[in-house]
């Protein structure tokens, strides 16, 4: 009695994830959007085009726009420097995916800061700007 091998070259179907197995997070699909932290008036908008990250930022209190430089994206972590022109306040920012609706925002510069950024709701620009 021997084993018989199948001559069918078709591979078996891939297992389907169960309800208890969440789909893996794709940072590139999550990162684009508007993000803000509860304890900050800064709001950053991130966009990915062909793997290149673009960042803009605004202070939602007065509508002043951040100067953004040194933008980087390694496929998992977004990095950029933000500077507020009126004060010269400069911060190095890192954003990491926490879950589908939250990013971990870390800041270093004039003072360290860390928060969980949430998707920001659509907001009209301040009057007069």
Q: Is residue 77 part of a domain?
A: yes
Q: pLDDT at position 32, please?
A: 85
The pLDDT-based confidence of 97 (bands split at 50, 70, 90) is: confident
- Tell me how far apart the alpha carbons of residues 70 and 30 are, in angstroms, rounded to a whole number: 21
The pLDDT-based confidence of 80 (bands split at 50, 70, 90) is: very high
Q: How far apart are the first and last CA of the chain?
A: 85
Longest dimension (CA), the chain: 87
Q: Is residue 62 part of a domain?
A: yes
The answer to whether residue 122 scores a pLDDT higher than 70 is: no
74: CATH? 2.40.128
Q: Is residue 44 part of a domain?
A: yes
Tell me the backbone φ, ψ of residue 80, rounded to 5 degrees. -160, 160
Q: Is residue 55 part of a domain?
A: yes
58 lies in which domain range? 27-119
Residue with tokens 């004060």: 87
Q: Is residue 92 part of a domain?
A: yes
**Domains contained in the chain, number:** 1
- Tell me how far apart the alpha carbons of residues 89 and 84 are, in angstroms, rounded to a whole number: 5
- Tell me how far apart the alpha carbons of residues 96 and 57 are, in angstroms, rounded to a whole number: 17
The mean pLDDT of 58-85, rounded to a whole number, is 93
Q: pLDDT at position 56, please?
A: 96
Q: Is residue 63 part of a domain?
A: yes
Q: Is residue 56 part of a domain?
A: yes
Q: Is residue 105 part of a domain?
A: yes
Q: pLDDT at position 111, please?
A: 57
């Amino acid at each position: 009695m021997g084993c018989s091998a199948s001559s069918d070259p078709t591979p078996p179907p891939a297992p389907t994830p169960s309800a208890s197995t969440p789909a893996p997070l794709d940072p590139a699909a999550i990162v684009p959007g508007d993000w803000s932290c509860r304890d900050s008036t800064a709001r950053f908008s991130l966009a990915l085009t062909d793997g290149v990250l673009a960042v803009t930022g605004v202070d939602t209190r007065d509508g002043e726009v951040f100067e953004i430089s040194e933008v980087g994206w390694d496929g998992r972590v977004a990095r950029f420097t933000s500077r507020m022109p009126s004060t010269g306040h400069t911060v190095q920012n890192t954003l990491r995916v926490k879950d589908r609706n939250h990013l971990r925002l870390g800041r270093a510069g004039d003072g360290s800061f860390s928060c969980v950024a949430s998707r920001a709701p659509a907001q009209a620009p301040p009057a007069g700007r």
